[in-house]
Chain A
């Protein structure tokens, strides 16, 4: 019965018995509760993540005072952890935009519980990603040289290069993601301003809420802005990871020079991002008892997205291998052979296991509702997507055209310090956010309460008739999504 599409569509997106007041209280309590009530799990995760932050700071200080020679990358492997991790992080960020923008345009109501999660994840993932190219420049205080501005050197960027495209794509992406995220937060910050009893908190939230009152005319423009931002972010997110893939595809290195990269990078980004959403959402859901808002239905849907994108990525790997063979080029053929059975062959097979094999357990419906299996699969994909970038970058570079210039790469402790450090920073920033801002978009969840979006019976534009008043779950949400159709 559950598998029947009609029945599934009706499955609750929030737990039973919730009113708009109880939703507000339950979600804002995470932030407004006294420090002593913070769950033990939060402290544990924060404690471990803080170690990572210390590692990051230590690495950066050593790196800036000494030079990037402390990293293991050197000719022929000039790009290694710095670019692997840059691509890995930025890919993780993309699920945030996908969930907040693409699923909004597609009217997927289930996104409302996890969109704040995902957007927040995007912000911090992009922050982690940004650190790598900046520090890889060696003199990060001169990073503004990347931008076009009139300078005494009389020089301007070279716009035919994918690397400058990357500067434009990633900086636009970071800016638009922050705008989208903050815009989404405004009404919820206003709720915190009105709910808190602390004077300082009221002042701070009041400042950030900018005087939001929930006026109908404000909501009207607000929703227009949200839908427009969603419409703008959708092509943006596709362009960003396509541009990231151009960094490789526009080069001539065997294993990079391939046209399948843009779509397969984008699918891989969504795959990695959904895995990270699950990695974060599952423990937080448990610590804070958010099962009423992040229901099994949500987990099920995320599992399906993970499975679908995993299959696209698998197709990408197959096509990549096929093209290497079909091209008839000796160098491309060797690049493939080197991937499968070269000195780093183990990484390739680990990648196939983690990214292509393990996610297939999600074909089995009960697995998509089992938090342990989901968590294990998400961790597998996190690792797999990192391996994918390792295989593309290091394994292609270490043996290119001339055997005389072949070499091996191994990371140093500072490579690891930087990588584990950014993971620590990411988790710490996310968990801090969790204590300071509503982690679930309250104003959107309120629309999932039956009738909260109003029946709309007397309106001429009413197209789904009596279904609303039947009390079906989520009846109110079309109030928001209707807008998408009209704009």
Chain B
């Protein structure tokens, strides 16, 4: 969106050893007007959702997934039992809807669960075998014990020296340039 930056790096990565510091960093960066930012932690930190203003539409997709499963389940049962292959089972009606509820319920759950998992993966851009952050050696700690904050070079407010100075104000353990 902004004019391409002259820097060839992906962004600047600050490392913290306390989750509180990461949350505070996120809050400040957002207040400062940075938009291309991301926080990394070894476990979910709920305060970050607030600090970064994160929302997601996954529940809505899952609702539609479940409704689709419901329609597919009942549709399949209706079509096979009434139209394609009607059989007289103990004199019961072809459309024995009370008995059809059980498979319909299962397909509802199945479609909703598939939507939840694959929806989450797709919206997260996973699987993603390559990411510039994997070049940073210390970043391996992001899944063990350390907390990282990234400001991408693509951010309109990003400028190498100024942003580095901004990150340094929060006293991180380290600041690294992430190669592209």
Contacts and interface: CB of A to CB of B under 8 A. Distances in A.
Contact of A157 (B48, B80, B112): B80
Task: Specify which of A157, A216, A452 lies most central, judged by the most chain B CB atoms within 10 Å of its CB.
Answer: A216
A162 B103 CA distance: 10
A438 to B, nearest CB: 11
A455 B92 CA distance: 61
A216 B120 contact: no
Contact of A194 (B46, B48, B89, B140): B140
- Name the prevailing secondary structure of the B interface residues: helix
A218 interface: yes
A24 B145 contact: yes
B45 A229 contact: no
B82 to A, nearest CB: 11
A395 B114 CA distance: 40
B126 interface: yes
Interface in B90-147: 90, 92, 96, 99-100, 102-103, 105-107, 109-110, 112-114, 116-117, 119-121, 123-124, 126-131, 133, 139-145
Interface stretch (B18-26, B155-163, B168-176): B18-26
A444 B107 contact: no
A376 to B, nearest CB: 37
A169 B119 CA distance: 23
Interface string B9-29: 000000000011001001000
B34 to A, nearest CB: 14
A219 B140 contact: no
B100 A159 contact: yes
A17 B88 CA distance: 69
Contacts of B119: 225
Interface residues of B, number: 69
Contacts of B99: 159-160
Contacts of A159: 77, 80-81, 96, 99-100, 103
Contact of B42 (A443, A478, A483): A443
Nearest to B110: A172
A216 B54 contact: yes
Contacts of A102: none
Given A159-B80, A212-B126, A216-B26, A190 B47 contact: no
Contact of A487 (B47, B59, B112): B59
B20 A451 contact: yes
A165 interface: yes
Nearest to B69: A172
Contacts of B45: 216, 219, 453-454, 479
A266 to B, nearest CB: 15
A150 to B, nearest CB: 9
Nearest to B98: A160
Given A221-B120, A454-B47, A24 B112 contact: no
Contacts of B130: 211
Interface in A430-450: 442-444, 446-447
Contact of A224 (B56, B66, B112, B126): B56
Interface residues of A, number: 77
A179 B117 contact: yes
Contact of B58 (A157, A225, A239): A225
Interface string A134-164: 0000000000000010000011111110101
Given A183-B117, A210-B127, A213-B142, A168 B47 contact: no
Contact of A156 (B58, B85, B113, B114): B85
Contacts of A222: 44, 120, 124
B87 interface: yes
B103 A216 contact: no
B48 A216 contact: yes
A219 B112 CA distance: 20
A169 B106 CA distance: 6
Contacts of A180: 113
A213 B133 contact: yes
A216 B43 CA distance: 9
A15 interface: no
Interface string A8-19: 000000000001
A454 B20 contact: yes
A300 interface: no
B67 interface: no
Nearest to A225: B120
27 contacts: A20-B43, A155-B85, A158-B81, A165-B102, A183-B117, A187-B43, A191-B42, A211-B128, A213-B142, A214-B40, A216-B26, A221-B56, A221-B58, A222-B120, A224-B59, A225-B116, A232-B116, A235-B105, A236-B106, A443-B42, A451-B19, A454-B23, A454-B46, A454-B47, A478-B46, A479-B47, A483-B46
Q: A-B pairs with the 7 shortest C-beta distances?
A: A210-B127, A21-B145, A211-B128, A225-B120, A479-B46, A194-B140, A156-B80
Interface of A: 19-21, 24-25, 148, 154-160, 162, 164-165, 168-169, 172, 175-176, 179-180, 182-183, 187, 190-191, 193-195, 206-207, 210-225, 228-229, 232-233, 235-236, 239, 243, 246, 442-444, 446-447, 451-456, 459, 461, 478-480, 482-483, 487
Given A219-B43, A444-B43, 19 more contacts: A19-B145, A148-B76, A157-B80, A168-B107, A169-B106, A212-B126, A214-B41, A217-B54, A218-B124, A218-B126, A221-B56, A224-B59, A225-B116, A225-B117, A228-B62, A229-B116, A233-B113, A453-B47, A454-B20
